[in-house]
Amino acid sequence: MTKFLSDNDKEFIWQNSDNTISMMTEYKVVPTPKNYQLWYTHSAQSDLNLSKVLENLIAKNMDFNEELNDKLYEKFFSTDKELRTVVETGATFQKELAKIVSVLKDAGDDTNAHTKALMNHMNKLSDFEGASELRDIIKLVITDTDKIKEQSQKLEDKLQESTQRIEGLKTNLENARLESRTDALTNIGNRKFFEEKIAEYMDNFVNCSDGLVLILCDIDHFKKFNDNFGHQIGDQVLKVVAHVIKKELGLRGAAARYGGEEFAILLPKATLDDGIDLADKIRTVISQRIIKNKNTGANFGRITMSFGVSCARPGGNVNDLIQKSDSALYLAKANGRNMIQSELELDQVVTQDNSISA
């Protein structure tokens, strides 16, 4: 069934399209399809990390030349980069396999030639007249045997070299994959990483009935923090939060920067209480951190965070899990911030609302 755009959707697209062209004109950005995609995403605020980078570059009066535009596109639309790496790796891998086949064919031809030579020597053993001829034949056999050994060693060396190159290609491919799923600022997973992980964990939950907990957390009043102290300090705060989350989580699950100042934590094989305990540990550690300027010693104050925790239920899906955690996070914000709310509190809110309406 064809899905038609609503009037609001159309109005949103037109406004962002006009705004995109205006910005590209103002900053002298050539309106190629790639550049338009980059700046439209910024205009629509679809990728807060991208918008922050562009805003910083604009503040520095950077020249959005062809080289910079290409780097920005590659950084934020890394699927193309990853696909290109896969294609290049496949092509190089194919060349290496062709070399291996060629080496094996040459070795096979040489071995056949040596075998024929040895057979001729063996035939001569039946009609020799004296010991001197026997010694000569033995010397020839030894010489040909040495040639086979030498050729075998060359074959082994070449195969080892190709194996090392193929291992290097696999490493490059894995590094490219990891890079495309890592947030450049905080060095933890990005939104793409989160989407892959939650789908993987949800499949495990459905198939094995293992627990699955999602924690969404948000830095309180982060915009005011940025406005008062600048984006560089804001970036440091994001790094500190990511470091604490990564340390407290350990190897129990996966963490990602969900967007802007919001983070997501996935706990497989866990209960709701496990998620609440982890969220409280992270909240406590974060609230004890004081952000200071290393050079001047200026105190920028403490960081606080709000948390929403929910767990997967039989018959539910990924969207249900995200919606519950997001609603619990919203409730934590509404109730005063620097706290944890779970799906249990959501149930209480629903019950109270039903009581009032009744």
Domain positions in the chain are 7-76, 80-180, 191-357
- End-to-end CA separation in angstroms for the chain: 40
Element (H, E) at 176: helix 131-180
Per-residue pLDDT at 180 exceeds 90: no
Mean of per-residue pLDDT scores for the chain? 79
Label residue 1 by pLDDT band (50, 70, 90).
Answer: very low
Label residue 150 by pLDDT band (50, 70, 90).
Answer: confident
Taking the CA atoms of residue 55, residue 59, residue 64 and residue 68 in that order, the dihedral angle to the nearest 10 degrees is: -70
Element (H, E) at 114: helix 78-124
C-alpha pair distances (Å), 112 with each of 29, 117, 143, 163? 65, 9, 15, 25
Give me the mean pLDDT over the 256-272 stretch. Answer: 93
Measured CA to CA, the distance from residue 238 to residue 259 in angstroms comes to: 11
List the CATH code of the domain at 191-357: 3.30.70.270
Label residue 83 by pLDDT band (50, 70, 90).
Answer: low
0.75 exceeded by the pTM? no
Measured CA to CA, the distance from residue 259 to residue 49 in angstroms comes to: 7
Judge contact between 202 and 132, C-beta under 8 A: no
Backbone angles phi, psi at 296, to 5 degrees: -100, -20
Compute the chain's Rg from CA coordinates.
32
Per-residue pLDDT at 101 exceeds 60: no
257: Cβ–Cβ under 8 A, 6 or more apart, which residues? 49, 183, 185, 186, 188, 189, 190, 191, 238, 242, 263, 264
What integer pLDDT is reported at residue 80 of this predicted model?
Answer: 53
Give percent above pLDDT 90 in the chain: 32
5: Cβ–Cβ under 8 A, 6 or more apart, which residues? 13
The residue assigned the tokens 């002298």 is: 28
Per-residue pLDDT at 317 exceeds 70: yes
C-alpha pair distances (Å), 353 with each of 226, 350, 358? 37, 5, 9
Measured CA to CA, the distance from residue 153 to residue 142 in angstroms comes to: 16
Residues 186-196: tens digit of each pLDDT? 999 998 899 99
The angle subtended at Cα 99 by Cα 97 and Cα 100, nearest 5°, is 65
Q: Which of 157-166, 176-185, 218-227 has the lowest mean pLDDT?
A: 157-166
Give me the mean pLDDT over the 65-85 stretch. Answer: 73
Give me the mean pLDDT over the 38-60 stretch. Answer: 84
